[in-house]
A and B are shown apart, each in its own frame.
Chain A
Amino acid sequence: MNHSPATGVPDAPGSRRVRWIALGAIALALVMISGLLIYLSPVLALLEPHDPSLGRVAGAPVATPPPLDSKRRINILLLGSDNDQKFRQDALLSQTMIVVSIEPATHQVTLLSLPRDLWVEIPGHPSAKIDLAYAEGGAALARATVEKAFKIPIHYYAWVGLNGLVRVVDRVGGIDLDVLHPVLDDNYPNDFSDSGYGTERVYLAAGPQHLDGRHALQYVRSRHGDLLSDFGRSVRQQQLLLAIQQRTAGMDLVTALPTFAQDLNGHVKTDLDLVRLTQLALFMRNLHPADVHQAYISPYVRDATSADGQQILMADWTAVHGYLRQLFGGDLLP
């Protein structure tokens, strides 16, 4: 017989039932929360705390992400690095820099490529190529540099390494895209060789085809056989992003997120929080190719040589900012 611990008086059958129901509900809630945390733990492992003030110089603007229910534009700085063993893992250059600008109100997305050789002021550092910002100060400094040079408020960042890209593409089952030119590179870096300094020969035929992760990486990374060099590579990188978006359009990304995240742990970093990540996954699911616009600043830059002899790109900043005003309207920083 059950007794009340305080009084030793037997409980009425009704109150015992209530207590068991309450205990059961709490246990069930705990199991569900634990299950949810276990389920989401791979995703949580990828997410870094959002602190946009990190690495900023005093007085620099801070871009606060719009509220979740807002229809305001969200800008994400997408960074890509060679992160094989020949590089110091804490000082990786950002070979790829693309601003992904999302307009929930109009359901439009703009991809803006920033050339890695562009000569810019890096806050708190001497002027240098823009790809150095990530090496010197991580995502925070890369973000601050982009905001200072381009006046684009960066709300979030996402970084992906070589293996991360390969895994993303393989995880979605490969991508289908139209290879714009035959890709031939006799000196393609074989990052997965023992030394990291090896080279291999690459050939991709032109035309529509299916690419797995390894070949997708070759397509966006090779530049030795392309007359347009980095500009050509920027075009291909945006093409890849579109192909991934189209490939995932029919997928239930929200449910797939934990599996994705488990695969990508260590190869992808972002300060997008879980709720925003889920919100974006839902947004991307309903995006049509015609809603995505590709943008480049190549018409507004010219080849130059820096004082220390580096081959660089110099921007006509008045023209660049004029172009960005066309793209971003009043959403630029003052």
Chain B
Amino acid sequence: MLPVKQLRVTGRLYATKGRALYRFSGTQLTRLRFASRVKDPAVTPSGDRIALAQLQDQSSTIVVSDPNGQNRQTLTPSSAAEGSLWAFAPGFDGAGQRIVYLTDRGKQPSSPQNLRPNDLGLWSYDLASGQSRRLVQPFAYTGGDSDPSYRPGVSDQLVYTTYLYGGAPPEPVARLTWMSLRTGATVYLSPDLGRNFEPALSPDGRYLAFIRAGAGSDDLFVMPLAPTYTREQRPYPSEAAVLIQSGVISQPVWSPDGRSIAFLMLTKGSFDLFILPITMDIAIHGAGVAQAVTHGSFLDADSRLAWSS
């Protein structure tokens, strides 16, 4: 059992530890039973369905179930003609009808003698029709894209992280990316160089929390997003406000009421769960200090958090 401080969590907040799924609610902590190892939980806004990446030895699939892990349905294949497949980071749209996720599906078969790129691209799955389609082709040999999510309140916009290389000599770059599903157009929301990643949209879709890699730290930032999709959006870097600096932070997620952000922070060698209250007046900023939900819990920092009402 994870060590938990007596901090009340409103709604239901999901995290994984050792590839097992845990739910924090009130001051209760529940381990949810799944047959195999899981990561990257996602929930519908109402919290009636949960999606996960279910891990096998050399592949993974996206599954959905009710919040207790019952009535499970596997959405994506673990292998295809091109070989074994990965699938990670599912995210529901506002209606809970579509899922955006990452996969290496569509890659060319590869061998040590004939190496081919197998980067992760963005795909969507329609729960009604059972059809999948590719949304974004990643840059080859970058590892691909990450952290996709639909913009709440609208059904035709995505945000995600694009991984690529930039500068001379080339260095790793991660850019926050905003995409119109209507036109397929994308716009970068962060500078050309540097690493900005793990975007998380507020429940009203107006703000974007994200992580910015600094010198030896990964800091939590937030910035506004224009109400409608525009290729003119140039918010960076002055409009991005820092919420927590000089930490090693990952996986931000907003509370369902938009008044808090939960995240994992490295503390004494352990990634623990914290909640930071937020206020929005003229600008958005932290309303107090981040409070620890766990202590010495060693949660999986490479696995997303999910929070429903």
Contact = CB atoms under 8 A, between A and B. Distances in A.
B130 interface: no
A184 B142 CA distance: 9
Contact of A207 (B58, B84, B211, B298): B211
Given A186-B118, A226-B141, A296-B169, A199 B269 contact: no
Nearest to B170: A228
B110 A187 contact: yes
A311 interface: no
Contacts of A206: 143, 146, 161, 163, 174, 197
Contacts of B271: 176, 208-210
B145 to A, nearest CB: 8
A227 interface: yes
Contacts of A173: 269
Contact of A184 (B120, B249, B250): B120
Interface string A152-185: 0000000000000000000001001011111111
Interface string B152-181: 000000000101010011111010000000
A187 B197 contact: no
Contacts of A209: 250, 271, 300-302
A104 interface: no
Interface string A208-235: 1110000000000000111110011001
A200 interface: yes
B110 A207 contact: no
A20 to B, nearest CB: 51
Contact of A180 (B60, B107, B195, B249): B195
Interface string B50-78: 00000000111000000000000000000
B47 interface: no
Contacts, number: 117
Interface residues of A, number: 37
A185 to B, nearest CB: 8
Interface in B223-261: 248-251
Interface string A85-100: 0000000000000000
- Give the most central of B83, B143, B302: most A CB within 10 Å: B143
Nearest to A180: B172
Given A180-B195, A186-B83, A225 B118 contact: yes
B118 A207 contact: no
A187 B302 contact: no
B203 interface: no
B187 to A, nearest CB: 21
Interface of A: 173, 176, 178-187, 199-201, 203-210, 224-228, 231-232, 235, 247, 289-290, 296, 298-299
7 contacts: A181-B163, A182-B143, A182-B144, A183-B143, A184-B120, A209-B271, A231-B170
Given A185-B118, A199-B112, 7 more contacts: A181-B174, A184-B86, A184-B118, A186-B107, A186-B118, A209-B250, A227-B142
